[in-house]
Structure 1
Amino acid sequence: MTLDEARAVAAAVPDPELPLVTLGDLGILRDVRRRADGGLEVVITPTYSGCPAMDVIRDDLRRALPGVTVTTVLAPPWTTDWITDEGRAKLLEHGISPPARRTGPVPVTLGVRCPRCRSPRTRLVSGYGSTACKAMYACSDCLEPFDHVKEI
């Protein structure tokens, strides 16, 4: 298997907490390279250092690429800016508000927009959503609750 093929396989592994996006979409996948013995090594960075999904992610990568070594690196720390445009679109399509970008030109925003009706009239319900990396919001216009991926 070539490195490009292995990278494509690793990138396509779904995130266990948000299976609508892949490790590639989230930017968790950092590198795929050859070990000195010719085997494959996949390098990943957790969304935060205490992420409970890391064991499942490592197991899923080993199932997808038998014999692979999975290495976890914490530096540089993961940032929501590593989520791809495709990943952001998938989150929005599934009713999860994607995080704002934190690099490049600073967009002027009026808070978190509702992923269903796009209204900026939303309110924070809880700093903790269905997973630790999300917060729970509610829309004042369509009245729907929704998760928002926290900016990190």
Structure 2
Amino acid sequence: MKVLNKILSRYSGKKSDLVPLLQEIQSEYGYLSEELMKEVSHFTNVPESEIYGVATFYTQFRFIPKGKKHISVCTGTACHVTGAQQIIEGMERHLNIKEGETTPDEEYSLESVGCLGCCALAPAAMVNDEIKSKLSLRNIKKLFKGYKPPESSK
């Protein structure tokens, strides 16, 4: 909690601090855990339910950790018309997770994003900071070569 206390020390604890405070905490921890949300509630004197309301309003906030390999599939117009939804569904099947989830071993996480700015490379995705272009159901298997997802705990 030393890191969290350092972050909190830069803020006054006002309700108006919530968004930048949550952004900084997520930047440091990778996501907003239940424990972190309780600490923010205590620090700001804002009920947890209200903080969750703010955090769920903005798509930038995560409540589960990202995988070591975080996949962002572009769903912008060019990617959409060239099969982004089929790419997402193929990745979901291969990883045995749904969009917005992380594999139980925290190896992969999957999300869709509005645009990666790679329209000429559609359909495209980003794995961590590396663009993957002209994706197809056939070549997404190469992304996961040798990876067998653990059984889902659902």
TM-score (norm 1): 0.35
Structure with the bigger percentage of strand:
1
Greater RCO, CA 8 A, separation 6+: 2
Structure (1 or 2) with the larger CA radius of gyration: 2
Structure with the bigger percentage of helix:
2
